[in-house]
Structure 1
Amino acid sequence: MSKIILTNMCMVYDQENNKVLVQNRIKSWKGITFPGGHIEDGESLVESTIREVKEETGLTVANLEPCGVINWYNEEKDERYFVFNYRTCDFSGELLKETDEGDVFWVHKDNLRQLDFAEGMEERLPMFLEKAYAEGFYHEEQVKWY
């Protein structure tokens, strides 16, 4: 039986200023992404996402809207990996200046695609921005969108 790894990611959107919160990751999966991380034992998907966003940005999010799942199987490690994706416009708090994971900052939604994304992140944007599909499945160097 494969090891299953559960993670999350959340796009925080400031409707008033038409900006999206991004993170320039410096540890794993380097480059621009949305905040997120691993789901811990005993946590729900939403609870873990709220915790990860708080840890990585300083912001408290609420009213998370599911916007899709990304998943793949890593044969070398015999791992099945899931990323549960959310978005929200409901946030409060003070943005952290820096974190161990990398800098977080607001970017205008129209300038989002000009950033240096982590591998595979740019192709996921329609899931967050337009709800264009519900699932992305990576298999043999290809992705299928459903």
Structure 2
Amino acid sequence: MSDSVELTNMCMIYDKENNKVLVQERIKSWKGISFPGGHIEVGESIVESTIREIKEETGLTISNLEPCGIINLYNSETGERYFVFNYKTEVFSGKLLDQTSEGKIFWVDKDELYKLNLAEGFGERLPMFFENKYSEGFGIWNEQSSGKLKLK
């Protein structure tokens, strides 16, 4: 059994005035539409890593991050654990990039989000960002299970 733990972040940037959220069409890993985010580096705080990743992937500077809960995935065969610390913010500035090596970045109407080609499992995470009532999404993934989340 492995004791491997991977720490990542994700942030929903919300333009309240226009009812739009910023999405990324990922082309490297976890392909499809999701909110931007990335890995937490050794010695880096979770919030600092989220601000850094958003700057790298979108060109925007964000602040006033509001926690939306944690995704906790566990591989029952290997013992690996994968955590995603989720945030949202309405406070952003800077010039939006068109795309990075991760994929295209663009605004989409919040109500149209579910109609897009979402990354696998991303749709079941969205209530954490929109409903303010979940603190954790837990799932087990292995050869037999895709890691379907239970929100709590």
Q: TM-score, normalised by structure 2?
A: 0.92
Q: Distance in 1 between matches of 2:94 and 2:30?
A: 26
More strand by share: 1
Q: Distance in 1 between matches of 2:33 and 2:111?
A: 15
Residue number in structure 2 paired with 1:51: 52
Q: Distance in 2 between matches of 1:26 and 1:76?
A: 28
Structure 1 runs of 4+ with >3 Å offset: 75-78
Residue number in structure 2 paired with 1:32: 33
Decide which moves more: 20-29 or 77-86: 77-86
**Within-5 A mapping of 1:99-114:** 99-114=100-115
Gaps of 5+ in 1: none
SS at match of 1:132: coil
Residue number in structure 2 paired with 1:79: 80
Residue number in structure 1 paired with 2:149: 143
Aligned-pair identity (%): 67
Q: TM-score, normalised by structure 1?
A: 0.95
Q: Distance in 2 between matches of 1:100 and 1:77?
A: 30
Q: Distance in 1 between matches of 2:30 and 2:78?
A: 17
- Count residues with an aligned counterpart: 146
Gaps of 5+ in 2: none
Is the Cα–Cα contact under 8 Å of residues 75 and 81 in structure 2 kept in the other structure? yes
Which one-letter code corresponds to 1:144 in the other structure? K
CA apart distance, 1:143: 2.2
